[in-house]
Amino acid sequence: MKLPMSLIALAIASFGIGTTEFVIMGLLPDVARDLDVTIPAAGLLIGGYALGVTFGSPVMAALLSGLSRKRALLLLVGLFILGNFLCAIAPSYRLLMAARLLTALCHGTFFGIGAVVASSLVPPKQRSQAVSIMFSGLTLANVLGVPLGTALGQWAGWRASFWAIVPIGILAAFAIMRWLPASPPQRGIRLSQEIRVLAKPAVLLPMLVSTLLSASLFATFTYVTPLLETVAGISSHGVTTVLLLFGVGITIGNLLGGRLADWRQLTALIGLTGTLVLMLLVLGLAITTPVGAAAAITGWGLVHFASGAPLQMRVVDGAAEAPNLASSLNQSAFNLGNALGAWLGGSAIAAGMSYAQLPTISAILAASALIVLMLDAVLSRRRLSLAGSAA
């Protein structure tokens, strides 16, 4: 597949957005100390961002519906730049939280509209690959952006991390302005029409799968450091290496998933999710040794993130009359799963379960997603049968 420069522009913005979302995880003690709050309070900056994405995405998609997609993306990147600038200069915890919420408003809508744009830049048989290339910026953020940003923040102060993200946003804005083709203004949305589109099973079921798979990921990944240290016996430095391997896995898996989905979208999703269930069960068994844990976590990341682009395209395909809003809402569904998974994992630990049992919870959630996908397949076949009869 020849790589259009416009996809690189979208990937640059994805890299910046992914970095700003997760870089604060490694800087919580520094933020808490500087702003005179507890570490749990600082941790709310992560949850607050996720909730901002969840509830802000549909609102932003509605507000930007009358603009061309290129202009909408540029405005969202501008919001991203402003939000990170305000994070860097925030003098208090409350203002930092407000800046994080402002930044979160661009997240889901950018990926939602960006996925629609990316899929329109290539031939029909390469649409999922195009979305996976845009998402590669997000996966590379976990491999490069977050570790480097964390190291910079620990060395020069946490504010330096956000200062460093600002020029990434400026570069992304320039690249989008330069390389993304112009597009006509979109029709303004009528809420009643949009709700009817979003209520279709072809849209709701993939969104439910996004929520369940995200919850499956974060039920275990939120607590991956204590899991690796206490169960696998890996040192803190070793944990960094394993997380790097996880990042490599998710980057490869993301690109692989795009190729598989362009072959057979729903078949690929069912196969990948079934493989994920098995991978999580293997993880539960392999987590007791350092080598087994490293190998299983790398494989887990590869299989899990292979579903991202196919799911995004399935939502867009199911909501042809309202792709921007539906695609943005799928990002909300993912972030809702993020919060749900972290809560489920934490509740299980608080109830007395061990860290080693978390992969089993993740496997149950992934199995639930597999059941929903099978239901989606049955309904899809029925729709095709009815369409054939009507023709």
φ/ψ (deg, to 5) at 84: -70, -35
pLDDT at 295 (0 to 100): 95
φ/ψ (deg, to 5) at 187: -70, 140
Helix axes 323-350, 93-120, angle to 10 degrees: 130
Task: Say if residues 104 and 49 touch (Cβ distance below 8 Å).
Answer: yes
Task: Say if residues 293 and 232 touch (Cβ distance below 8 Å).
Answer: yes
Q: pLDDT of the chain along its 391 residues, tens only?
A: 567 789 999 999 999 999 998 888 778 788 888 999 887 788 788 878 888 888 888 888 888 877 888 999 999 999 999 999 999 999 999 999 999 999 999 988 998 899 889 988 888 888 888 888 998 888 888 888 888 888 898 889 999 999 999 999 999 999 999 999 887 776 555 555 666 767 788 889 999 999 999 999 989 987 888 888 889 998 877 887 888 898 899 999 998 988 888 888 889 999 999 999 999 999 999 999 999 999 999 999 999 999 988 898 888 888 777 777 788 888 888 888 988 888 898 888 888 888 899 999 999 999 999 999 999 999 888 877 766 665 5
Can you tell me the distance from the alpha carbon of 135 to that of 132, in angstroms, rounded to the nearest whole number?
A: 5
Can you tell me the distance from the alpha carbon of 164 to that of 157, in angstroms, rounded to the nearest whole number?
A: 12
Task: Say if residues 328 and 58 touch (Cβ distance below 8 Å).
Answer: yes
| Number of H-type helices and E-type strands within the chain | 17, 0
In one-letter notation, the amino acid at residue 105 is L
SS3 172: helix
Task: Say if residues 330 and 135 touch (Cβ distance below 8 Å).
Answer: no
Residue 291: partners with Cβ closer than 8 Å, 6 or more residues away:
none
Task: Say if residues 208 and 337 touch (Cβ distance below 8 Å).
Answer: no
Q: Where would I find the H helices in 235-264?
A: 236-263
In one-letter notation, the amino acid at residue 242 is V
How distant is the alpha carbon of residue 245 from its chain centre? 18
Domains, in order of start, for the chain: 1-180 (1.20.1250.20), 197-391 (1.20.1250.20)
Can you tell me the distance from the alpha carbon of 48 to that of 126, in angstroms, rounded to the nearest whole number?
A: 35
Return the structure tokens found at 80: 């991203």
Block residue for tokens 């020069």: 156
Can you tell me the distance from the alpha carbon of 3 to that of 146, in angstroms, rounded to the nearest whole number?
A: 25
Can you tell me the distance from the alpha carbon of 226 to that of 231, in angstroms, rounded to the nearest whole number?
A: 8
pLDDT at 24 (0 to 100): 84
DSSP 82: H
Task: Say if residues 50 and 97 touch (Cβ distance below 8 Å).
Answer: no
Can you tell me the distance from the alpha carbon of 26 to that of 13, in angstroms, rounded to the nearest whole number?
A: 21
Closest to 67 in 3D by CA, of 181, 188, 195, 208: 188
pLDDT at 193 (0 to 100): 61
Can you tell me the distance from the alpha carbon of 258 to that of 9, in angstroms, rounded to the nearest whole number?
A: 18
Task: Say if residues 217 and 362 touch (Cβ distance below 8 Å).
Answer: yes
pLDDT at 191 (0 to 100): 55
Task: Say if residues 311 and 206 touch (Cβ distance below 8 Å).
Answer: yes
pLDDT at 186 (0 to 100): 63
Alpha-carbon separation of residue 222 from 227, 243, 386 (angstroms)? 10, 12, 44
Kindly state the helix (H) or strand (E) to which residue 389 belongs, with its residue range: helix 358-390
Beta strands in the chain (DSSP E): none
